[in-house]
Amino acid sequence: MFNFFKKPKPIHKDSSALDMDRIPKHIGIIMDGNGRWAKGRNLPRTMGHKAGVETIRKILKECNRLGVRYLTLYAFSTENWKRPKDEVSALMTLLVEYLKNELKELHENNVVVNYVGNIARLPEAAQRALSDAKEMTKDNTGVQMNLALNYGGREEIVRGVRDIAEAVHSGAIKVEDITEESFKDYLYTKGQPDPELIIRPSGELRLSNFLLYQSAYSELWFSSINWPDFSEDHLRGAIADYQKRDRRFGGVKSE
């Protein structure tokens, strides 16, 4: 029978108290502000990137603890090749080191390592480290970390359109088969839910080509904190704010 006397929702004084039944399944993070973090300490930008890796470790653990299923981390965009050569190669070296040094721990923590983006342009050592990590962790059941590498939302969509055009051309699918839902199978995130929450630290208020198709109805959360200073508390705060949002998807407020 319909219950007219709905229990009032508990009011948490502590804003970080979370409704564990409404943890986002998929969170995207634009890991920004490493350079500014380093500059503020008179350190080279690379040191900021190194410090950012530490944050990944903490946030992954917290996501696992909270039961987040997918965590997409924007690590290198299709536009980041514009940076000085030294910085690009330092980032690639850091990626390989991270995967090599952390793989055992990632595996022990039940993390599934995955990537999104066109990794064919990455140095071979990085491609190898990624496929090794993916292979080793593929049967794990914890949070899936999608490292977004040489990732661009526009590149992803255009690539998907090309693949669809080929599938139509070869007769594998019909034009009528192309729908908003079926198009998702042509994206790097095939089979994954859209991110309910996208977090961008560092004070920038833009998506910078991140998950353009998937973010149509994502809740966005911005903070001026730089990524190396981002903590478990910030993550929990972002999720707490997300849980207060009224997600209407174009409909009317749910009472």
Determine contact, residues 28/198, Cβ cutoff 8 Å.
yes
Residues 205-234: x where in contact with ligand IPE by CB under 6 A, - otherwise, as a string: -x-x--------------------------
**139 an active-site residue?**
no
CA-based nearest residue to 210, from 130, 156, 134, 163? 156
Compute CA distances 62 → 11, 39, 68, 91, 162, whole Å.
23, 28, 9, 24, 38
Helices (H) and strands (E) in the chain, counts: 7, 6
Under the criterion CB under 5 A, does residue 49 sit at the interface with Mg ion? no
Among the listed residues 27, 31, 32, 129, the single contact to Mg ion using CB under 5 A: 32
Under the criterion CB under 6 A, does residue 76 sit at the interface with ligand IPE? yes
Could you tell me which stretch among 95-103, 153-161, 189-197, 201-209 binds ligand IPE (CB under 6 A)?
201-209
Q: Which does 31 bind (CB under 5 to 8 A by kind): Mg ion, ligand IPE, none?
A: ligand IPE
Could you tell me which stretch among 19-27, 75-83, 189-197, 247-255 binds ligand IPE (CB under 6 A)?
75-83
CA-based nearest residue to 45, from 56, 34, 53, 55? 34
Determine contact, residues 27/67, Cβ cutoff 8 Å.
no
**101 an active-site residue?**
no
Q: Which of 64, 80, 109, 140 is catalytic?
A: 80
Could you tell me which stretch among 25-33, 102-110, 136-144, 155-163 binds Mg ion (CB under 5 A)?
25-33
Strands, E, within 128-238: which ranges? 144-151, 197-200, 219-222
Please give the residue ranges that form the binding site for Mg ion (CB under 5 A). 32
